[in-house]
Amino acid sequence: MTEKRFLGIIATNNLGRLIHRESCSIEYKENFSLGSINKYAKTMAAFANRKGGAIIFGVTDSPRIPKGMSNDNFNKADPEKISNFLNQNFNPEIIWTMEQFEYQKKLFGVITISEAKYKPIIASNNSQNIIKEGDIYYRYSGRSERIKYSELRKILDNNKEKERKFWTNHIEKIASIGPENISLIDLKRGTIDIGSPEKLIIDREIIKKIKFIKEGKFVERDGAPTLKLIGDIDGVKTVAADIDLEKDFFTTKELATELNLLIDAGSTAYMTAVINHYNIKTKPDFFKQNRGQNLYSRNCYLFLKSKNIDIKTAKKYAKKSTIKQY
């Protein structure tokens, strides 16, 4: 959030009260407390499922006066702990920032939440009777609550339209280039489909660079979009013998199956408890999301396998998680 935007939000009338009320994009709090992380997280998910928003700390409840924060809880808060809580309780990931502003020698805290790229963000765990597993929260005027049918229908319709446009654009590009001139790069497994039973294997380090380029580094050449190479690539190495392309990434259920932690006719509850216990979702080398689906790398599998976790241990982690929530 820019300082100009912040000052606009906390603008006051001649009585010193805020002009702007809480809305579909703004919520006020008097002080930050890590003990209220459940409530903040619910609001953050609600903002992300709409158009994004901000929680402003340092504003009294009634009347709404920008008095500034009366303690340093916000300044002392560990963003990693907040991220861990969000990742353990919501999917896909909530994108947010945390910053402080000074106004009239008073300090204010701001948590800014971006609109989610992949909606809806869904609660994946229960937490203190505030967050309910499976719930989708949405920001309405001045309040965060379970989404109603019309808003959910709109999100699903938008997702469908984005998917349609995505495929339409790809098909148009393929048609303009010619199907015979197209090869597909599988960024997940690191292969190029060359139209025959054989496949070219791309080195992992190059895959990382291709992903970086894919995020928007393009140049125009002769009217056609061309990838611009960023960084030096010395050459393509041969794939390591121990790489199993079919097992490079696992869903939660696949990971549970491989580690013998699947229970109750397919339940992944114990697997989720293990993932949360080791903070797997905070480790980029272990965890990624693809269109809202949680995926775990082979490195993650090897790491967890080395821990020799059995059902009894996983059950203990699940109980600890429940105790922490209540």
Backbone angles phi, psi at 184, to 5 degrees: -100, 135
Write down the pLDDT at residue 326: 39
Write down the pLDDT at residue 235: 45
Confidence of residue 239 (pLDDT cuts 50, 70, 90): very low
Q: Tell which residue, 7, 1, 31, 22, has the closest CA to residue 104.
A: 7
Length in residues, the chain: 326
Task: Report the pLDDT averaged over residues 306-324.
Answer: 79
Whole-prediction pTM: 0.60
Instruction: Report the distance separating Cα 117 and Cα 291, nearest Å.
Output: 9
Peptide bond into 225 cis (omega under 30): no
Summarised one tens digit per residue, pLDDT across range 165-219 is 888 887 887 788 777 766 666 666 656 666 666 556 666 556 555 555 555 444 4
Task: Report the pLDDT averaged over residues 98-120.
Answer: 93
Confidence of residue 283 (pLDDT cuts 50, 70, 90): confident
Alpha helices in 10-49 (DSSP H): 37-49
Task: Report the pLDDT averaged over residues 258-279.
Answer: 86
Summarised one tens digit per residue, pLDDT across range 131-166 is 999 999 999 988 999 999 999 999 999 999 988 988
Write down the pLDDT at residue 163: 87
Q: How far is CA 156 from the centre of its chain?
A: 18
Instruction: Report the distance separating Cα 314 and Cα 317, nearest Å.
Output: 5
Contact 41, 86 (CB under 8 A): yes
User: Considering only 51-60, 228-237, 274-283, which range has the smallest mean pLDDT?
Assistant: 228-237
Which three-class secondary structure state does DSSP give residue 305? helix
Mean pLDDT of the chain, nearest integer: 82
Higher pLDDT, 317 or 57: 57
Write down the pLDDT at residue 199: 58
Write down the pLDDT at residue 200: 61
Contact 147, 120 (CB under 8 A): yes
What single-letter DSSP state applies at residue 114? P
Instruction: Report the distance separating Cα 266 and Cα 268, nearest Å.
Output: 6
